């Protein structure tokens, strides 16, 4: 199947500038790219984080292995607690770079959670003292990337950018099927042991390396993609088949020097997407569950990914498929797929690329595109169903910010479960067991207080105890503080209404419920409550919306007409909600009539019908509206 992304230029106005401030860690900016309409800058101490990473890398004790990172952004405090992600790579992990096999240390890849937010997940890498990755919270997912990936030629006072998944523009995609039908039925019956881990071989071509520039950055991208789909698949019950996970067995990185290597099948600049997949399939991938190639190519028609579709019987392709001779006289491995991070000359955000990867792997696992009213709620006439969005395997994927976008439909679950039932026994391996002693309560563990030299918990057996005891609750103990902040040191649940999470601008304080060690999700404050210095509003418990929304307006980008007055970037521009129609000319001027200044401004929304100017940040509460007299041009 191939995932195709359509141009987004017709979908509506780009949300624009918010107030620029110069705090210690948070900055605010224009749209980062055509896909990302709002971001904030991060400027925490990179030298300090680098030294902490080096200390964690060398550490012997459990406590010293933990890496901590704290910063403030998007109206909230982030306190990351992470440890090296040793479960993402198999024991026999191999790395090849330009044909040379290397012993490689993956200690810069981290996973963990937000302190005090049970059920959160953070994953990423630390290279040169900068964290890059994603942070899944109760209020959505945030993405952190280096600023030079977007603002390479800009002199900005921050080194990283962070944005929320809700600020990724909704760009639709289309899939077309690709399936091999000329095959013999598989006759061997699979014996089903508890094998639930799909081992991956990931290759990257020289163009992918050229964009990300270093070996560490390339491996960080691979691990981020694998971790993202691992969270999706592990959280899905495929009709009784649970905890499906992924592990990287081998990575091959083609550097820019491989562009001239005649043995490199991906060396040519102009390769069509189907040919690109075929080049991957012509290699023997019998040692792997799936084999993917990551690239940075702008394929025709907006293709983002392509993969062979799995089936329980009757056709080749998908997970565990072995190398065999086909009717065209070539031996191929059809347990393959490809994804690209470029689309219509722009690089897609990680969120879009992660969903693309999950979608293509879904085809490998046996799911066609969703169809029928039950599995395509985004097409429903019911507004409630429509707002939940479509599922992962819908033929047109969004940016991934709606409720269903990260889930499989019942149609997909049924199809995938049939393929797993038939095929996983031939190439899946037993999953990595939970790591008792890492301080994280994982599936199969009752508690985890660390090793004996670290555990101060009277409720939980430490990791140095025998196998039948370690990471289990002691007799007659109800809970352990390692399970969450609502368990006392005396191993009982804290009483109802005891505080377990501080109040934030957009959510009330968290209160224990008296029946669980975990802190329940905080009750959100009313939508459109002003936050972040009255420059944003609360939406569903997070400080993410523009102040424009409080007045029933839409945000757009402001700039002075001559482009020279940078202070105008410190304004918030809003426009009337209207029926947007494409313009022949994307810019219209708006006259500002403040007493202190009179000049023209540009509201740089791509599609617009009328404009409203908001005063500088100290005056926002006295919001005044100036409507453009110009007529909207018809395309």
CA distance 484 to 301: 49
* Catalytic residue selected from 360, 445, 549, 554: 360
**Angle (CA) 552 553 554, round 5°:** 135
Nearest alpha carbon to residue 365 among 250, 238, 225: 238
- Written as six digits, the tokens of 114 are 């937000």
278 classed as catalytic? no
Q: Contact at 8 Å (CB) between 363 and 419? A: no
Query: Is 118 a known ligand-binding residue?
Result: no
Query: What ranges make up the beta strands (E) of 128-233?
Result: 130-137, 140-146, 160-164, 173-176, 197-204
| Contacts of residue 44, Cβ cutoff 8 Å, sequence gap at least 6 | 25, 69, 70, 71
Query: Is 369 a known ligand-binding residue?
Result: yes
CA distance 493 to 556: 49
- Written as six digits, the tokens of 384 are 């409630």
**HSE toward the beta carbon, residue 551, CA cutoff 13 A:** 23
Name the DSSP letter for residue 583: -
Helix, strand, coil shares of the chain, percent, nearest 5, are 20, 25, 55
CA distance 615 to 597: 11
**Angle (CA) 288 290 291, round 5°:** 90
| Order of all β-strands in the sheet with 530-531 | 530-531, 536-539, 542-546
Name the DSSP letter for residue 219: H
Backbone angles phi, psi at 338, to 5 degrees: -140, 150
Burial 373-407 (b: 16+ CB within 10 A, else e): eebbbbeeeeeeeeebbbbbbbbbbbbbbbebbbb
Q: Contact at 8 Å (CB) between 548 and 614? A: yes
Q: Return contacts of 234-242, CB within 8 angstroms, 24+ apart.
A: 236/407, 236/408, 236/413, 237/413, 238/413, 238/416, 238/417, 238/420, 239/413, 239/414, 239/417, 240/417, 241/196, 241/417, 241/420, 241/421, 241/424, 242/196
Residue 84 burial (CB count, 10 A): 22
CA distances from 413 to 3, 321, 390, 418 (A): 20, 20, 14, 9
Q: Contact at 8 Å (CB) between 259 and 276? A: no
Nearest alpha carbon to residue 426 among 289, 234, 255: 289
Strand partners, 174: 4
The phi-psi region of residue 328 (left if phi > 0; otherwise alpha if psi is between -120 and 50; otherwise beta) is: alpha
- Helices 350-364 and 215-234: crossing angle in degrees, nearest 10, is 60
| Contacts of residue 545, Cβ cutoff 8 Å, sequence gap at least 6 | 528, 536, 537, 538, 539
Annotated binding site for Zn(2+): 359, 363, 369
Annotated binding site: 359, 363, 369
Active site residues: 360
């Amino acid at each position: 199947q191939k995932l195709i992304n359509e141009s987004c230029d017709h979908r509506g106005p780009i949300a624009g500038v918010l107030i620029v401030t110069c705090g210690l860690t948070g900055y605010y900016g224009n749209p980062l790219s055509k896909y990302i309409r709002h971001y904030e800058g991060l400027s925490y101490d990179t030298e300090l984080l680098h030294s902490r990473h080096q200390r964690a890398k060398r550490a012997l004790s459990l406590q010293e292995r933990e890496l901590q990172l704290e910063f403030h952004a998007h109206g909230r405090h982030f306190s990351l607690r992470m440890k090296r992600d040793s479960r993402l790579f198999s024991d026999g992990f191999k790395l090849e770079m330009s044909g040379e096999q290397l012993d490689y240390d993956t200690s810069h890849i981290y996973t963990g959670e937000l302190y005090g937010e049970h059920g959160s997940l953070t994953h990423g890498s630390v290279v040169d003292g900068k964290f890059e990755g994603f942070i899944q919270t109760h209020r959505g997912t945030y993405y952190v990337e280096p600023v030079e990936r977007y603002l390479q030629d800009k002199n900005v006072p921050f080194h990283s950018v962070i944005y929320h998944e809700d600020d990724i523009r909704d760009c639709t995609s289309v899939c077309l099927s690709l399936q091999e039908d000329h095959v013999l039925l598989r006759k061997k019956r699979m014996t089903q042991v508890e094998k639930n881990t799909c081992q991956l071989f990931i290759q990257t071509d020289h163009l992918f390396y050229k964009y990300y520039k270093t070996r560490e950055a390339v491996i960080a991208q691979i691990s981020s993609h694998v971790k993202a789909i691992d969270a999706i698949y592990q959280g899905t019950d495929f009709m009784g088949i649970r905890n499906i996970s992924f592990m990287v067995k081998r990575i091959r990185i083609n550097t820019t020097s491989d562009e001239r290597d005649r043995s490199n099948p991906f060396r040519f600049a102009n390769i069509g997407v189907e040919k690109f997949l075929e080049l991957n399939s012509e290699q023997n991938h019998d040692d792997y569950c799936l084999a993917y190639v990551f690239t940075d190519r702008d394929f025709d028609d907006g293709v983002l990914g392509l993969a062979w579709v799995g089936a329980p019987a009757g056709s080749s392709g998908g997970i565990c498929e072995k190398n065999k001779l086909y009717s065209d006289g070539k031996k191929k491995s059809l347990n393959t797929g490809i994804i690209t991070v470029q689309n219509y000359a722009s690089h897609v955000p990680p969120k879009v690329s992660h969903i693309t990867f999950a979608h293509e792997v879904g085809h490998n696992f046996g799911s066609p595109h969703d169809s029928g009213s039950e599995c395509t709620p985004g097409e429903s006439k019911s507004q409630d169903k429509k707002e939940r969005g479509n599922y992962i395997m819908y033929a047109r994927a969004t940016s991934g910010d709606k409720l269903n976008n990260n889930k499989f439909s019942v149609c997909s679950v049924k199809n995938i479960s049939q393929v797993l039932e038939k095929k996983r026994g031939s190439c899946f391996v037993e999953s990595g067991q939970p790591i008792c002693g890492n301080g994280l309560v994982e599936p199969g563990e009752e508690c985890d207080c660390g090793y004996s030299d670290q555990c101060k918990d009277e409720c939980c057996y430490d990791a140095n105890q025998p196998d039948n005891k370690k990471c289990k609750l002691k007799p007659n103990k109800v809970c352990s503080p390692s399970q969450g902040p609502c368990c006392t040191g005396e191993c009982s649940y804290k009483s109802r209404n005891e505080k377990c999470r501080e109040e934030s601008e957009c959510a009330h304080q968290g209160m224990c419920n008296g029946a669980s060690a975990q802190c329940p999700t905080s009750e959100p404050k009313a939508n459109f409550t002003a936050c972040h210095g009255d420059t944003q509003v609360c939406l569903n418990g997070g400080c993410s919306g523009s102040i424009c929304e409080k007045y029933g307006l839409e945000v757009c980008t402001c700039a002075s007409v001559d482009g020279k007055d940078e202070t105008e970037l410190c304004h918030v521009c809003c426009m009337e909600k209207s029926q947007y129609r494409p313009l022949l000319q994307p810019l219209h001027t708006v006259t500002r009539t403040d007493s202190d200044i009179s000049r023209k401004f540009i509201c740089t929304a791509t599609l617009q019908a009328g404009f409203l100017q908001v005063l500088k940040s100290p005056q926002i509460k006295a919001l005044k509206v100036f409507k453009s007299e110009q007529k909207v041009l018809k395309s």
